[in-house]
Amino acid sequence: MSTEIIEALLAMKRQQVMDLIQQKINIGENPFAILKACQEAMEQVGKRFETGEFFLSELIYSAEIFKAVSAYLEPMLIGSLREEESRGSIIFGTPQGDIHDLGKNIVITLMRASGFTVHDLGVDVPPQKFIQALKETGSQILAMSAIITPAYNSMRETIELLKEFGLREKTFVIVGGVITNDLVRHNVGADAQTLDPFEGVRLCKEYVAKKAIPHADYR
């Protein structure tokens, strides 16, 4: 039946996915295993996106299915997934001056589907709030997404503050959004930049897998 869930999700059949999950729960299946099946489906979505078989619309749609599944399963999962068992912890927000969140929300869902714990700080986030969240959570990844150029200053200030607080060396900073490119990455002092949601997830996975390697490897 896991295969059926995966197939239904890849076929973009929201109701079918939800019905199958309901059936599984009714017969006593482990909710964590169901979540894992959905995560596997999302991995497949990512692969198909990278090959061009899927488009952003499929990412949006499948992310919505995954959100609905997670919301349904969450009460049954409490206590079964501790943060230290997650793939890693990420602080994510739209920097101060920008209130857009569509891209951020899609990437957050994909990151969660990949097993990351994501702390979503929302939009128009001041630099100090990013620092505070990093300190409070011990997260080692900071992701910022923006679509208007005034966000450059906020990104730059946030990264400067990271240095002031001695957090820069142990924080992987990734930026994205339509107004970012490599020039922006370099200018604001980030480690990585992407416009591709799944590449963003992949870069975070790689960082977690190779934490010991200096930031320069990602530039």
Partner 1 sequence: MIPEATTRRNRFEAAISLEAPDRIPVAPLLVSFPIRHRGLTQGEAWRNLDMAFEAMLDTFDDLGGFDVLFKTNIYWPMLGGRFCNAPIRTLIPGKQLPEDALMQIQEVELFSREDYDKIASIGWNAFWEGHYEKISGKSLSKLAETQNRLMEQYLREIGICEARGIPVLLGVAVDSVLMAFSLCRTLTQFTMDLFEVPDKVQAAMDASCDDLIQNALDTIAITKKPLVHIVLERGSGAIYRLEIFERFEWPYLQRYVDAFISSKVTPWLHLDTDWSLNLPYFKKLPRGKCVADLDGTTNIFRAKEILRNHMCISGDVPAPLLTLGTPQEVEVYCKKLIDEVGRGGGFILTTGCECPIDAKFENVKMMIDIAKTYPGKKREV
Residues found near partner 1 in the complex (CB under 8 A): 12, 14, 55-57, 60-61, 64, 97-100, 102, 105, 148-150, 152-153, 178-181, 183-184, 187
Q: Which is nearer to partner 1, 76 or 189 (CB)?
A: 189
Interatomic CA distance for residues 16 and 79, integer angstroms: 28
Q: Which is nearer to partner 1, 61 or 165 (CB)?
A: 61
- Coil vs helix vs strand at 120: strand
Q: Are 114 and 43 in contact (CB under 8 A)?
A: yes
Strand order in the sheet with 116-120: 116-120, 88-93, 141-145, 172-176, 192-194
Interatomic CA distance for residues 160 and 171, integer angstroms: 12
CB of 182 to partner 1, least distance (A): 9
CB of 159 to partner 1, least distance (A): 14
Q: How many other C-beta atoms are found inside a 10 Å radius of the C-beta of residue 144?
A: 29
Q: Which is nearer to partner 1, 81 or 179 (CB)?
A: 179
Q: Which is nearer to partner 1, 14 or 205 (CB)?
A: 14
Q: Are 191 and 173 in contact (CB under 8 A)?
A: yes
Residue 72: in which H helix or E strand, if any?
Answer: helix 56-77
Q: Are 155 and 175 in contact (CB under 8 A)?
A: yes
- Coil vs helix vs strand at 90: strand
Q: Which is nearer to partner 1, 128 or 187 (CB)?
A: 187
Phi, psi of 72 (to 5 degrees): -70, -40
CB of 172 to partner 1, least distance (A): 22
CB of 20 to partner 1, least distance (A): 17
Q: Which is nearer to partner 1, 88 or 95 (CB)?
A: 95
**Which of 138, 56, 55 lies closest to 90, judged by CA?**
138
CB of 111 to partner 1, least distance (A): 17
CB of 33 to partner 1, least distance (A): 27
